Homo-oligomer: A and B are copies of this chain.
Amino acid sequence: MKDVNIGICGLGTVGGGTWEVLQRNARIIAGRAGCNLRVARVANRSPRPDLGLGDTPFSTDVHDVVNDPAIDIVVELIGGYDDARRLVLAAIEQGKHVVTANKALIAQHGNEIFDAAREKNVIVAYEAGVAGGIPVIKAIREGLAANRIQWLAGIINGTGNYILTEMRAGRDFDEVLKEAQELGYAEADPTFDVEGIDAAHKLTIMASAAFGVPLQFDRAYTEGIANITPYDITHAEALGYRVKHLGIARSREDGIELRVHPTLVPEKNLIAKVDGVLNAVLVDGDAVGQTMYYGPGAGDEATASAVIADLVDVARTVSTDSAQRVPYLGFESDAVTDHRILSPNEIRSAYYLRIQALDRPGVLAKVASIMSENGINIESIMQKESELHDGQIPVILLTHTVLEKQVNDAIAEMEALPEVEGRVVRIRAENFL
């Protein structure tokens, strides 16, 4: 299998995560990409002995990566504007493809960078710059390619969404911000997040990809959340709304709206229910209607997931002559495994059971003992005298996760009890853990 050589510039949170995931999932990623994504050089201002870089060549100067002729793809994870711009332009000049997680760089210097890249026929990919691990740039540029995109709206800053979520309990902005800083959700200088600048970077990029216009970050309108009070949040809720810090881009006949500000959102809309540090982007296309993309908008491995998706994209494009850029089932045929499908009895799940029991003493004890003998732990159990009907009271219980066979055996035993009428109702429950 062919190698595609990657050089990682910057081993901070995202750089470290990218290294880790590339090592841990090397086999899966190669199976998907059709080639090995080999980290051939890394650079960081200071060493990262904790990462276990082994024999991988290490430099303290990121330009060593750009100047290494073996490198096919440069991964820019140093952040900031000027140094990152110079680094990316130098990589392009050397004819290398670039993957970056730097939203500020793309929002501010993207037009210049893309012009240079077009000239050199290299790819510059930036999925990780917008909404962390959520593949929303891919959705906009590819998945929704049939659509005239009319507007998009996103919760694209986790810090701001965490603060507004916590303020619903009646707490003040300043108090929650302080807590967010202690928890590591907010920076010591929170301006970028709470004033909407970070969100405006991401919004600018999404709007350009959605509407086909040049990047114009300096024309984006931003308004922060510092002036939002629990009082207004409460009153907005009384009107049927939640307050969210949204980035909104809308294409109109006479121009494009590009704005980040606190926004009342109807509580029935799914995006109103996106709480805490999570991100979500709602996109309205004329053919598809409204679709939404939801997930972690930050974090080491979540962002690394997007960086590596871009690496796989570049590798799939440059390393194959086949028409099948993406393998039919996502994996190259020699990477498809014959992992067997389990039978129903082998399923592991939690279960909701409803037992129609006669109103006689000792029934609950018998049920509990059958469950226990079958090794089933009960999460909760409910039996209400008020539901007595025709001499029966239903026993409703929820189990911990067990093997389906255990539950089926227990049900057969319960149905055989003289105090139990008819069939036991069994519905699986899933806690998504």
Q: Which residues of A contact B (CB under 8 A)?
A: 17, 21-22, 24-25, 28-29, 31-33, 97, 110, 114, 117-118, 121-124, 127, 133-135, 138-148, 153, 208-216, 219-221, 227-229, 232, 235-236, 238-239, 241, 243, 246, 248, 251-252, 254-259, 261-266, 269-271, 273-274, 282, 284-296, 299, 301-302, 304-309, 312-313, 317-318, 322-331, 333, 335-344, 346-348, 350, 352, 354, 380, 382, 394, 396, 398, 425, 427-432
Q: How far is the CA of A371 from the CA of B252 in the complex (A)?
A: 25
Residue of B nearest to A302 (CB): B288
Are the CB atoms of A430 and B336 closer together than 8 Å? no
Q: How far is the CA of A33 from the CA of B190 in the complex (A)?
A: 40
Q: How far is the CA of A326 from the CA of B239 in the complex (A)?
A: 44
CB A253 to nearest CB in B, in angstroms, measures 9
Q: How far is the CA of A415 from the CA of B142 in the complex (A)?
A: 48
Residue of B nearest to A20 (CB): B287
Note all chain B residues with C-beta closer than 8 A to A33. Answer: 145
14 A-B contact pairs sorted by A residue (CB < 8 Å): A21-B146, A114-B328, A142-B309, A143-B309, A146-B308, A227-B425, A238-B382, A257-B347, A264-B350, A282-B432, A287-B301, A288-B305, A289-B295, A291-B295
Which of B122, B336, B394 has a CB less than 8 Å from the CB of A212?
B336
Are the CB atoms of B302 and A289 closer together than 8 Å? yes
- Report the copy number of this chain in the oligomer: 2
Are the CB atoms of B290 and A432 closer together than 8 Å? yes
Are the CB atoms of B432 and A284 closer together than 8 Å? yes
Which of B227, B299, B330, B427 has a CB less than 8 Å from the CB of A140?
B330
Q: How far is the CA of A380 from the CA of B214 in the complex (A)?
A: 39
11 additional contacts (CB under 8 A) given A142-B326, A263-B428: A17-B287, A29-B145, A32-B145, A127-B143, A209-B329, A212-B331, A252-B342, A255-B342, A263-B427, A264-B352, A266-B432
Are the CB atoms of A133 and B21 closer together than 8 Å? no
CB A25 to nearest CB in B, in angstroms, measures 6
Are the CB atoms of A347 and B259 closer together than 8 Å? yes
CB A210 to nearest CB in B, in angstroms, measures 7
Note all chain B residues with C-beta closer than 8 A to A347. Answer: 221, 257, 259
Which of B17, B133, B138, B335 has a CB less than 8 Å from the CB of A138?
B138
Are the CB atoms of B153 and A430 closer together than 8 Å? yes
CB A327 to nearest CB in B, in angstroms, measures 8
Note all chain B residues with C-beta closer than 8 A to A398. Answer: 239, 264
Q: How far is the CA of A170 from the CA of B142 in the complex (A)?
A: 42
Note all chain B residues with C-beta closer than 8 A to A262. Answer: 427-428
Note all chain B residues with C-beta closer than 8 A to A259. Answer: 344, 347
Note all chain B residues with C-beta closer than 8 A to A317. Answer: 323, 325
CB A330 to nearest CB in B, in angstroms, measures 4
Note all chain B residues with C-beta closer than 8 A to A352. Answer: 232, 235-236, 239, 241, 264
Note all chain B residues with C-beta closer than 8 A to A354. Answer: 232, 235
CB A394 to nearest CB in B, in angstroms, measures 8
Are the CB atoms of B121 and A323 closer together than 8 Å? yes
Note all chain B residues with C-beta closer than 8 A to A430. Answer: 153, 246, 248, 263-265
Are the CB atoms of B328 and A117 closer together than 8 Å? yes
Note all chain B residues with C-beta closer than 8 A to A318. Answer: 323
Residue of B nearest to A429 (CB): B264
Are the CB atoms of B428 and A261 closer together than 8 Å? yes
Are the CB atoms of A135 and B124 closer together than 8 Å? no
Residue of B nearest to A278 (CB): B270
Q: How far is the CA of A208 from the CA of B308 in the complex (A)?
A: 21
Note all chain B residues with C-beta closer than 8 A to A288. Answer: 133, 295-296, 301-302, 305-306
Residue of B nearest to A294 (CB): B292
- With A148-B28, A294-B292 known as contacts, the answer to whether A220 contacts B326 (CB < 8 A) is no
